[in-house]
């Protein structure tokens, strides 16, 4: 009996040590991630201030800025080159000659969508830039007609599925469609932003979501995230990805992608009772104001995070948005007669988290976000009574199934330490200068 108790104690201590390692690893990853976002927000604010103080830009009315932006997109109705290696320098208007991918016809239908999904899944050929541009233009045209806040309902479908951040993880999106079915008016989805960056398949994820949006009107609701932004894309990999995949057409495609970003709705309301936004709220969030705002000028609902303590304070870690407490949530929900808030924006070990007494739900759909085995992805299903059902999954299940909990933590821990070491090397001169100022006599104290 004593031996059994000793073994049990040892095992509990072992699990506690592993859990501590998992938690500090998570903290390292999040600290590095948020510090990077803070740098990008500073850069964003700098360029905004710069543009404000340029006389020609400052003196130009707001409408003319919108007009010039839209006219630049219309001017992109031009030739797109084939990306085949042997035709790299030839301007080809259509998918002739070296192109081996599928021929896509517009307007898209379910058959064309299945062809595109098959193409992305098999990874054999790349969709011609002409078709990529066509999808982006068609999507922009439809998005422009939508309000700032989508209205979704379970009246016909009897359910709504909400997906969080995908961050270029095509495998996760395909797992969701496999488990839950393709979108349709009878099986509607809300995709809650951050479709691109960090993952290697951001362009495929974005195009696939836009295709489902075009093929199933009323079956797909797209919300904007803080990474649907070219400033963020410059740091976190999406612009580089587009240049690698479409090196002869990248700049033209990126301008069309920027137009898609500009017209993405800012949130979705389900059954007039549940608000779905990417980040969160603040004590000054006004839904009536959001309904009438320029979609390109919103920060709080894209960047904010919930906190356990009361009140509302600036989100110093990210450099934008706020931390909002349970009191802020309660007042907001009461003011707009809402039941609860669904948001994304933060990676969670199980792909979801419930806070503020069930009034704030975080949903994150990119599994293995930091490293293989670091976290599960999840999606949320709402029924007509708005009861919640979470479905968790791991995209690379075959790789993680064989790993023990200790091995998974070890993989993530080593990855986190590599990231930390890289950051320390980047700041080596600054760190050495700071250490010297605090210990001028080199005593090591």
CA distance 162 to 398: 25
> What is the model's pLDDT at position 37?
64
Q: What Rg value do the Cα atoms of the chain yield, rounded?
A: 24
Catalytic residue numbers, as ranges: 227
pLDDT band at 95 (very low <50, low <70, confident <90, very high): low
Closest of 192, 204, 191 to residue 241, by C-alpha: 204
For the chain, what is the mean pLDDT? 84
The CA distances from residue 85 to 98, 108, 247, 248, in Å, are: 9, 28, 11, 11
The order of strands in the sheet holding 274-276 is 149-152, 267-270, 274-276, 340-343, 360-363, 352-355
Sign, CA torsion 168/169/172/173: positive
Asked whether 399 and 372 are in contact (CB, 8 A), the reply is: yes
Query: In the predicted model, what is the mean pLDDT of residues 217-243?
Result: 94
> What is the model's pLDDT at position 383?
96
DSSP code for 352: E
Q: What is the pLDDT of residues 103-140, one digit of tens each?
A: 999 999 999 999 999 999 987 788 999 999 999 999 99
> What is the model's pLDDT at position 184?
95
Q: Among 34-38, 189-193, 295-299, 349-353, which is the least confidently predicted range?
A: 34-38
Closest of 117, 116, 114, 146 to residue 134, by C-alpha: 116
pLDDT band at 89 (very low <50, low <70, confident <90, very high): very low
pTM of the model: 0.79
pLDDT band at 173 (very low <50, low <70, confident <90, very high): very high
CA distance 420 to 56: 44
Residues pairing with 267 in the sheet: 149
> What is the model's pLDDT at position 69?
42
SS3 track for 269-327: EECCCEEECCCCCCCCCCHHHHHHCCCCCCCHHHHCEECCCCCEEECCCCCCCEEECHH
Asked if pLDDT for residue 221 goes beyond 90, the answer is yes
All structural domains of the chain: 102-393 (3.60.21.10), 401-444 (no CATH)
Asked if pLDDT for residue 259 goes beyond 80, the answer is yes
Asked if pLDDT for residue 380 goes beyond 80, the answer is yes
> What is the model's pLDDT at position 374?
82
Asked if pLDDT for residue 162 goes beyond 60, the answer is yes
pLDDT band at 71 (very low <50, low <70, confident <90, very high): very low
> What is the model's pLDDT at position 5?
82
Asked if pLDDT for residue 12 goes beyond 70, the answer is yes
> What is the model's pLDDT at position 235?
87
More confident residue, 62 or 405: 405
DSSP code for 87: G
> What is the model's pLDDT at position 131?
96
The CA distances from residue 439 to 427, 429, 434, in Å, are: 18, 15, 9
Q: What is the pLDDT of residues 389-418, one digit of tens each?
A: 999 999 875 555 566 655 666 666 666 666
Q: What is the pLDDT of residues 29-58, one digit of tens each?
A: 666 666 666 666 665 666 566 556 665 544
H or E stretch at 210: helix 202-215
Exposed (0-12), middle (13-18) or buried (19+): which is 92, by Cβ within 10 Å?
buried
The order of strands in the sheet holding 305-306 is 305-306, 322-324, 312-314
Asked if pLDDT for residue 3 goes beyond 50, the answer is yes
pLDDT band at 99 (very low <50, low <70, confident <90, very high): confident
Query: Cα angle at 77 between 104 and 117, to 5 degrees?
Result: 25
Q: Is 368 helix (H, G, I), strand (E, B) or coil?
A: coil
Q: What is the pLDDT of residues 293-328, one digit of tens each?
A: 887 667 689 999 999 999 999 988 888 889 999 999
Residues present in the chain in total: 445
Asked if pLDDT for residue 91 goes beyond 70, the answer is no
SS3 track for 121-138: HHCCCCCCHHHHHHHHHH
Q: Is 354 helix (H, G, I), strand (E, B) or coil?
A: strand
Asked whether 334 and 53 are in contact (CB, 8 A), the reply is: no
Residue 96 CB partners (closer than 8 Å, separation 6+): 82
Query: In the predicted model, what is the mean pLDDT of residues 364-386?
Result: 92
Closest of 162, 192, 386 to residue 279, by C-alpha: 192
Distance spanning both ends of the chain, measured CA to CA: 50
> What is the model's pLDDT at position 174?
96
Q: What is the pLDDT of residues 18-32, one digit of tens each?
A: 666 666 675 766 666
Percent of the chain with pLDDT over 70: 74
> What is the model's pLDDT at position 408?
61
């Amino acid at each position: 009996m004593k031996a059994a108790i000793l073994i049990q104690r040892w095992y509990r201590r072992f699990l506690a040590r592993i859990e501590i390692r998992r938690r500090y690893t998570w903290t390292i990853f999040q600290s590095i991630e948020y510090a990077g976002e803070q740098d990008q927000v500073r850069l964003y604010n700098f360029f905004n201030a710069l543009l404000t103080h340029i006389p020609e830009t400052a003196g130009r009315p707001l409408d003319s800025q919108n007009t010039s932006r839209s006219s630049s997109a219309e001017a992109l109705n031009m030739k797109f080159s084939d990306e085949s290696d042997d035709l790299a320098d030839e301007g080809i208007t259509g998918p002739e000659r070296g192109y081996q991918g599928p021929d896509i016809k517009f307007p898209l239908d379910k058959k064309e969508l299945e062809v595109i999904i098959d193409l992305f899944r098999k990874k054999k050929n790349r969709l011609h830039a002409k078709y990529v541009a066509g999808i982006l233009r068609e999507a922009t045209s439809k998005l422009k007609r939508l309000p700032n806040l989508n209205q979704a309902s379970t009246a016909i479908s009897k359910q709504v599925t909400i997906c969080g951040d995908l961050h270029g993880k095509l495998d996760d999106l395909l797992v969701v469609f496999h488990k839950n079915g393709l979108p349709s008016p009878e099986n509607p989805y809300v995709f809650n932003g951050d479709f691109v960056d960090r993952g290697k398949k951001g362009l495929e994820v974005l195009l696939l979501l836009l295709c489902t949006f075009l093929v199933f009107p009323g079956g797909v609701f797209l919300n904007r995230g803080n990474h649907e932004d070219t400033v963020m894309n410059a740091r976190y990999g999406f612009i580089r990805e587009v240049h690698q995949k479409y090196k002869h057409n990248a700049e033209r495609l990126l301008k069309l992608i920027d137009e898609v970003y500009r017209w993405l709705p800012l949130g979705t309301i389900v059954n007039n009772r549940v608000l779905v936004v990417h980040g969160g709220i603040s004590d000054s969030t006004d839904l009536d104001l959001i309904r009438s705002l320029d979609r390109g000028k919103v920060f709080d609902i894209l960047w904010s995070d919930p906190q356990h303590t009361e009140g509302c304070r600036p989100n110093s870690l990210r450099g934008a948005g706020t931390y909002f407490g349970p009191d802020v949530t309660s007042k907001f929900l009461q003011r707009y007669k809402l039941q609860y808030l669904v948001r994304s924006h933060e990676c969670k070990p199980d792909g979801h988290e419930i806070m503020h007494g069930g009034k704030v739900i975080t949903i994150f759909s990119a599994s293995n976000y930091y490293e293989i085995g670091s976290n599960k992805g999840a999606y949320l299903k709402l029924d007509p009574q708005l009861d919640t059902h979470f479905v968790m999954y791991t995209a690379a299940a075959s790789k993680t199934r064989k790993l023990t909990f200790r091995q998974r933590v070890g993989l993530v821990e080593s990855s986190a330490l590599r990231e930390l070491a890289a950051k320390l090397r980047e700041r080596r001169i600054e760190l050495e200068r700071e250490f010297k100022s605090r210990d001028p006599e080199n005593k090591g104290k």
